[in-house]
């Protein structure tokens, strides 16, 4: 087991789980977003799990939550400077994934034709 001060373990503890990197990827594509828009962008996630993950990301300083104190409730999320600094991690994950998908005939490479990759400067 790695010590608590291990940088890899620290990073993994902040982004571990099925949804956190996907949430970060969606937040990179926009400046701010509401939870309903995130639910539409990530259709397989439940509202409860999305909110739990957003709270954890907020606690770790990756996501910022802005509550407008309106009725009906209006809350927006955006990446903090720390969250935006994760671009290089996502680019490397994407590069590694593309290499492995291209060299594995079992799975087609859908991302090569992804419109989000073409329009988003950070990739898909």
Residues of the chain with CATH 1.10.10.10: 11-85
- According to DSSP, the residues that pair with 65 across neighbouring strands are 77
- Can you give the pLDDT at residue 1? 44
Supply the pLDDT for residue 2.
45
pLDDT at 118 over 60: no
Q: Which two tokens stand for residue 7?
A: 């940088």
* DSSP assignment letter at 85: T
Pick the CATH number of 11-85 from 1.10.150.120, 3.30.70.3270, 3.40.50.300, 1.10.10.10: 1.10.10.10
- The tens digit of pLDDT for each residue in 4-41 reads 678 888 888 889 899 999 999 999 988 889 989 999 99
**Cβ pair 85, 92 in contact under 8 A:** no
Q: Which residue has the higher pLDDT, 94 or 51?
A: 51
Residue 114 has pLDDT above 70, yes or no: no
Q: What is the pTM of this model?
A: 0.75
Q: Give residues with Cβ within 8 angstroms of 104, minimum separation 6.
A: none
């Amino acid at each position: 087991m790695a010590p608590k001060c291990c940088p890899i373990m620290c990073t993994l503890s902040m982004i571990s789980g099925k949804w956190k990197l996907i949430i970060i990827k969606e937040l990179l594509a926009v400046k701010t977003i509401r939870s309903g828009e995130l639910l539409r962008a990530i259709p397989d996630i439940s509202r409860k799990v999305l909110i739990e993950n957003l709270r954890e990301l907020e606690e770790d300083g990756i996501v910022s939550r802005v509550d407008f104190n309106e009725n009906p409730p209006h809350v927006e999320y955006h990446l903090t400077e720390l969250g935006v600094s994760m671009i290089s991690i996502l680019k490397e994950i994407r590069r590694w994934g593309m290499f492995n998908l291209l060299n594995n005939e079992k799975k087609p490479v859908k991302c090569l034709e992804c419109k989000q990759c073409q329009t988003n400067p950070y990739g898909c």
